[in-house]
With several copies, the nearest count.
Chain A
Amino acid sequence: MKIHEYQAKEIFKRYGIPVQAGEVANSPEEGKNIAEKIGKPVMVKAQVLVGGRGKAGGIKYAKNPDEAYQYAKEILGMEIKGIKVKKVLVTEAADISSEAYIGVIVDRKTKKPVVIVSQAGGIDIEEVAKTTPEKIFKLEVDPLLGLQSFQARDLGSKIYSDFKIAAKAADVIKKLYFAFTENDCSLAEINPFITTPKGEVWALDAKINLDDSGLARHPEIESMRDKDAEDPSEMKAREGGLSFVKLNGNIGCIVNGAGLAMATMDLVKHFGEEPANFLDIGGSSSPEKVLNAMKIILKEPNVKAILFNIFGGITRCDDVANGIVQAVKQLKPPVPIAVRLTGTNEDKAKKILEKVNLTATSSMVDVVKKAIELSKG
């Protein structure tokens, strides 16, 4: 799960990471009020869960509350990468001497938490890693022991030659590491981490991605979920225990298992069409889940045919077949359905499908070809 900058900053503040005064505004008026309260020039920053806000004009410097009003109005209207901006963060503007990068990730390669720092902050860190890898410093942390102060100091010294600043950075690195581990983050990032001419340091931006598997033990973070920012179908799917990603093609896919679902999408493409979605009904296979999946897919206007690809294992084919029958009867789908069923209780399932005049195949290739054919009317 992703959360907004202002939410990540709330978490940072709890750990003592220096974050400038600021509040989130839902309207230009609110933006103006916050700027007045701050009483200094402010930044007005679009709160959207995608990158590239700055380039899209979603971050503005406002000298006074009236400008803050003006920019909040502009930004609250705009779309960034197709996503409408509904909130802005109004926060004290900083006098920037230098911009660095500080981040912590779960590293699947080393199987350790890895702290990453770079002097080259403020820009896309993956770009820096590609073009000037010598500017990136990584530290693998022993997850049983945790990050030690000397390690944080070493990292701080990699990005600042002035030891006083390096020590301040080290302190932030330690706090960021705690915030990362204690909140089940998959990423916790400060970019840019800035210094001012006065020698202050600030987390100017804040990014936290949460490990979905850890969310259950952080209800306070789960409650930060921005339901506005999520695709309504994807949200509905998630709430119904389905894994769903919307795409742009016209073959609606319902599959059990993530790998098989991706392979099914790939096969659709392989035979010249585009999938309308990724959808994994998962291991347990109640008819309700199938009904739910159908409902979600039928909401997409571009879907021209529905493709079921079920390899029965834990998932029992008859359960899926029952779900299809229920869905056909209840939803009266306006598009044709192609079904592949194999594995556990396959024969039983094929009989069930006869009730709604569907003939299931056992072959994945066949069902994909058939769905494409059906989609063309």
Chain B
Amino acid sequence: MSILVDKNTKVVVQGITGRDGSFHAKQMKSYGTNVVAGVTPGKGGESVDGIPVFNSVKEAVEKKGANTSVIYVPAKFAVDAIYEAADARVKLIVCISEGIPAIDMLKVYNYLKTTETRLVGPNSPGVITPEVAKVGIMPGQIHKKGEIGVVSRSGTLTYEVVYHLTLNGLGQSTCIGIGGDQIIGTNFIDCLFLFEKDPQTKAVVLIGEIGGTDEEEAALYVKKNMKKPVVAFVAGRTAPPGKRMGHAGAIISGGSGTAEEKIEAFEKAKIKVAPTPAEVAALIKEELVLIQQNKPNT
């Protein structure tokens, strides 16, 4: 098994005729993802790399059975795209688009709570279940099927960690980029909950960064609710307060949201924190050894 994305995932690509949409639609398809449809209003009837394009998500759902949407449209159309996908009742929306105003996302988040649809992102690199399906923009080839769940606020930093996991023979169950924005649809805790339940996942890597208190809350959650080991990495120890580091989420404000606070929270929750991205793999290996030793029947 895996979480969020699996062999039943049927993807509709919103914004498929755009620069990013068409490129990644092809990439996803060549990775083996079941990309069943694309949507660009006004381009219904066309096709992209053999993928049929529709005018609306509803059509893609009705005609092709899409159950997962991935959104590549420009920020100013992205909120509408999310509502459209939710209205068409896809189960999962992965929003790659970045630059959606927070005020809009507050509405989106609270509206989606009243529906059955889960949103990952915005400003997410996507979700990948290695060797099964990739829904997003991550480089597929660095991933390998396995037992490690990865959840992260970051994009390329996640690739870095995954790259080392794979190099060290540690395959992944599912890797989720929850997105770098302040207001996101799915947070660390949601993913930790799913990983804890997922039989394929044996251990989890959590990649945090400065800003907010999501890591602190995740640490508490792990302590209280998880039996599976979690290893963390936190980026931004050298980041200065008051400066936004790249995206809306990554800012130390009012002396809170620092890497030190987060690392301390993890350590309090007995979660090992890797000093560098490369060292995550070693810590995970340690945890797996511990699991093996503690198994009653060995």
Q: Do chains A and B touch in the complex (CB under 8 A)?
A: yes
Q: Give the interface of A toward B (CB within 8 A).
A: 106, 108-109, 111-113, 126, 142-145, 148-151, 153-154, 157, 163-164, 167, 181, 184, 186, 211-214, 216-217, 243, 245, 247, 255-263, 265-270, 274-275, 278, 280, 283, 311-315, 342-344, 363-365
Per-position binary interface string of chain B over residues 31-48, scored 1 when its CB falls under 8 Å from any chain A CB and 0 otherwise: 000000000011010000
B225 to nearest A CB, angstroms?
A: 18
Shortest distance between the CB of A233 and any CB in chain B (Å): 13
Q: Which of B216-239 contact A (CB under 8 A)?
A: 217, 233, 235-239
Number of A-B contacts (CB under 8 A): 208
- Interface pair B238/A256, CB less than 8 Å apart: no
Q: Report yes or no: A106 in contact with B276, Cβ–Cβ below 8 A.
A: no
CB <8 Å contact, B278 and A266:
no
A259 close to B240 (CB less than 8 A) = no
User: By the criterion CB–CB under 8 Å, are A164 and B157 in contact?
Assistant: no
The smallest beta-carbon distance between A214 and chain B, in angstroms, is 4
Query: Is A106 a contact partner of B157 (Cβ separation < 8 A)?
Result: no
- Interface segment among B80-88, B192-200, B283-291: the answer is B80-88
Contact B237 A269 (CB under 8 A): yes
B55 and A163 form a contact (CB under 8 A): yes
Query: Which listed residue, A143, A216, A217, touches B110 by the CB 8 Å rule?
Result: A143
CB-based contact B139/A126 at 8 Å: no
Instruction: Verify A261–B275 contact, CB threshold 8 A.
Output: no
* Contact A311/B41 with A148-B83, A211-B102 known, Cβ cut-off 8 Å: no
Shortest Cβ distance from residue B79 to the other chain A in the assembled complex, whole angstroms: 8
- Asked whether B245 lies within 8 Å of A261 as measured between CB atoms, the reply is yes
Question: For A186, what are the chain B residues with a Cβ–Cβ distance below 8 Å?
Answer: 102, 182
B84 close to A150 (CB less than 8 A)? yes
B76 to chain A, nearest CB (A): 7
Inside 8 A of B254's CB, which chain A residues have their CB? 126
User: Which chain B positions have C-beta within 8 A of A313?
Assistant: 125, 137-139, 155-156, 159
* A residues in contact with B125, CB < 8 Å: 313
Apart from A247-B240, A258-B247, what 16 extra A-B contacts exist at CB < 8 Å?
Answer: A148-B83, A150-B81, A163-B44, A181-B103, A245-B239, A258-B180, A258-B250, A259-B152, A259-B155, A259-B158, A262-B250, A263-B235, A266-B237, A266-B276, A313-B138, A364-B277
Other-chain residue from A108, A217, A257, A262 in contact with B239 (beta carbon distance below 8 A): A262
Cα A213 to Cα B76 with chains together (Å): 10
Q: Which of B3-11, B60-68, B205-213 contacts A (4 or more CB under 8 A)?
A: B205-213
Q: From the candidates B105, B111, B139, B142, name the one contacting A144 in the complex (CB within 8 A).
A: B111
A residues less than 8 Å from B278 (CB atoms): 363-365
> Which 10 residue pairs spanning A and B have beta carbons closest together?
A258-B246, A259-B154, A257-B156, A259-B157, A150-B84, A214-B101, A262-B235, A260-B156, A143-B106, A262-B236
A143 x B275 contact (CB < 8 A): no
Give the distance in Å from the alpha carbon of A269 to the alpha carbon of B181 in the complex. Answer: 26
Which B residues are within 8 Å of any A CB, using their own CB? 20, 23-24, 41-42, 44, 55-58, 75-77, 80-81, 83-84, 87, 99-103, 105-107, 109-111, 125, 137-139, 142, 152-160, 163, 180-183, 207, 209-210, 212-214, 217, 233, 235-240, 243-250, 254-256, 259, 275-278
Q: Check A311–B159 contact: CB distance below 8 A.
A: yes
**Contact partners of A265 in chain B: CB under 8 A:** 236, 238-239
CB-CB under 8 A from B276, the residues of chain A are 263, 266-267, 270, 364-365
Q: How far is the CA of A216 from the CA of B74 in the complex (A)?
A: 13
Q: A259 contacts which of B24, B156, B244 (Cβ < 8 Å)?
A: B156
Say whether A262 contacts B109, CB under 8 Å: no
- Pairwise interchain contact A111-B180, C-beta atoms closer than 8 A: no
Bound CA span A280–B110, Å: 31
Return the contact of A213 from the options B57, B58, B102, B250 (Cβ within 8 A).
B102
Q: List 25 A-B contacts (CB under 8 A).
A: A108-B249, A113-B106, A143-B110, A144-B110, A150-B41, A154-B58, A212-B248, A214-B101, A258-B180, A258-B250, A259-B157, A259-B158, A259-B209, A260-B154, A260-B156, A260-B159, A270-B275, A270-B276, A311-B156, A311-B159, A311-B160, A312-B139, A313-B125, A342-B163, A343-B142
Q: Which of A144, A153, A363 sits near B41, CB closer than 8 Å?
A: A153
Does A106 contact B182, Cβ atoms closer than 8 Å? yes
- Given the complex, which residues of B lie within 8 Å of A278, measured CB to CB? 239, 243, 245-246
Provide the residues of chain B in CB contact with A344, threshold 8 Å.
Answer: 139
CA distance A73 to B135 in the complex (A): 60
Q: In angstroms, how far is the closest chain B Cβ from the Cβ of A110?
A: 9
Chain A positions within 8 Å of B139 at CB level: 312-313, 343-344
